[in-house]
Amino acid sequence: MITNRLKQLWAEGKPTINGWCSIGNPFTAEIMAAQGYDSVSIDVQHGALDYTSVLPMLQAMRASGVVTMARVPWLEPGVIMKILDAGAYGIICPMVNTAEQAAEFVSYVRYPPLGQRSFGPTRAAYSAGANYAAEANGEILAFAMIETGQGMSNLEAIAATPGLDGIYVGPADLALSLSSGRLTPGFDREEPEMIERLREIIAVCKKHGIRGALHCGTAEYAARAIGWGFNMTTVSGDSRLLAAAATASVSKFRALVGGNAAKVTGGGY
């Protein structure tokens, strides 16, 4: 089986950058995968896509050699196993709030005797190389998302779950939950109370020998997170990057022509 490059990089003490795809299109995924990310994750939870998009997106990214992962919609065995069978090398599971849920999640990612994943790697048997059945348990990554107050309360027990590879922090939901709605959801938290929580999470990850990942909005904040000890950071995502680049281009044009160009309000060409 083709080895998981993320595991190799972390073993060498190197941080990694993860790309994010929420647009259900193989060409978009192919472009993202070619930009130098160590891994690219498909967002099946909040992204504008479903399994019929996931499969061709994974196929489109294969040529780049990037490690492919996916965030599933929920803790549900069918979709987790199906996306693994499609060839994903890692699963990010949202809203894991207890050690019991973390153990359940891990069981869906691992084949017996380490779990209860059903065997039928439809595409993975070809895309991941030979000996998939014997080696998948050691190569596939299982990331549980901590993004609620309940999850924080059970952080130690979740991090101690056998077979769990890491904690992935969703800062928007975590801020909403911990503040009971007082804080506006978003990335790159600057509130001292949130930074303290983020540093607590990575400290617990290190204590239990697992990896910590954080979703960020900018490269600058991601670099800070790596400095705190996080092993992987996601920096923005395809839809946000597209919007930012388009906005910058339009703004530059307006500035160069003095803001006199007509604005398109609708209609055809």
Catalytic site residues?
46
Nearest in space to 109 (alpha carbons), one of 134, 85, 74, 125: 85
Compute the residue count for the chain.
269
Within 13 Å, how many C-alpha atoms sit on residue 27's CB side? 0
Q: Which residues pair with 213 in a beta bridge?
A: 168, 232
Nearest-angstrom CA–CA distance, 240 and 144: 24
Within 13 Å, how many C-alpha atoms sit on residue 195's CB side? 12
- Straight-line distance from the first to the last Cα atom of the chain, in angstroms, rounded to the nearest whole number: 50
Nearest-angstrom CA–CA distance, 7 and 139: 8
Alpha carbon distances (Å) from 150 to 174, 177, 250, 269? 10, 9, 43, 51
Tokens for 165?
């590879």
Coil vs helix vs strand at 169: strand
Q: Which residues pair with 41 in a beta bridge?
A: 20, 69
Q: Which residues contact 147 (CB under 8 A, 6 or more apart)?
A: 94, 95, 169, 170, 171, 172, 173, 174, 177
Q: Is the peptide bond before 162 cis (omega within 30 degrees of 0)?
A: no
